[in-house]
Structure 1
């Protein structure tokens, strides 16, 4: 049977900003309890008193990753270089039997120009190529028989080198996404490898996004 505590936990997990503010003791418990009275009453299908909700809020234990653990601080402080690449284009095409062969032509061209920015991601139904805009004509010609889902120019990539033990830290990416969201920065694409994390944004956001990530690191 669902309890008031269960409902409080469900609400806080679905609203990570609220959960973090609660973990930092910067929320008025009484005011929050009053605000949650109606939704929790609906969840339990009975009237619930604000006092019971406030008690559940005070007893709630947030995940350790939201309490600035020593391990998380160490990883963030050890973030590597932040690199910005501009003048990029993002191509999304429908997967087909010919896409891999056409993609091989693109790889052959890229091997001739080592300074180009390039990533390729293959999903279940579509594939994505992000590449320096200087090759736009070549890409469009190489993929002229493919079905384009989206093409977006005027993009910039911000790449962050991560410590080698980053894959064992729960909540690391949350810190980046939280900061970017708070500052109203729209992410066009997110790419990651084991020790590297890249966000793709429209050019108008790149300075603001770079500054936001720097603040996470500092």
Structure 2
């Protein structure tokens, strides 16, 4: 399925380097994981924090940001766009429900780079209207980490999204393991995200290296 937005099968290497520094995107739930996976070589890490008191939340974000700056990590903060603006975080990632209340003009004016989750054609159209720096599609496979309103999208949908969004970076997420990561790249994703396969693995540092080997195009 083509659209007027389709201008290239993949983002150029230069464009991707500006937007997404690496083809893997560990999603973590603490500043400690940002430091640990950053020291292992991850350079595009998403921090997803839930249900923390305001003071603890800010302290955790500041700690993660400090580690990211020290290690050369591009930090993606979920949801808290105002804090991201105030603290100078690299990226903010918003779900569709977050778009209802986010101040998109302030986000763009403040220089924040923006990622938006999508699960269907309607959500993709809404995301593209926000002028994001990347879009994420998921869940590619079934995931048990959180209840999803949408079923597995499959790698075929990645290819469809790739054709529709042209050179904009595309991130795959949801039920992805090391064994599945390469298939996402082959289907058109520029970057592959995961939670459990990093932070619940017995050798997270080894996983960073293995994922990079599985997703880096020769």
TM-score by length of 1: 0.31
Q: Which structure has the bigger radius of gyration? A: 1
Q: Which has the higher contact order (CA 8 A, sep 6+)?
A: 2
User: Which has the larger share of helix?
Assistant: 1
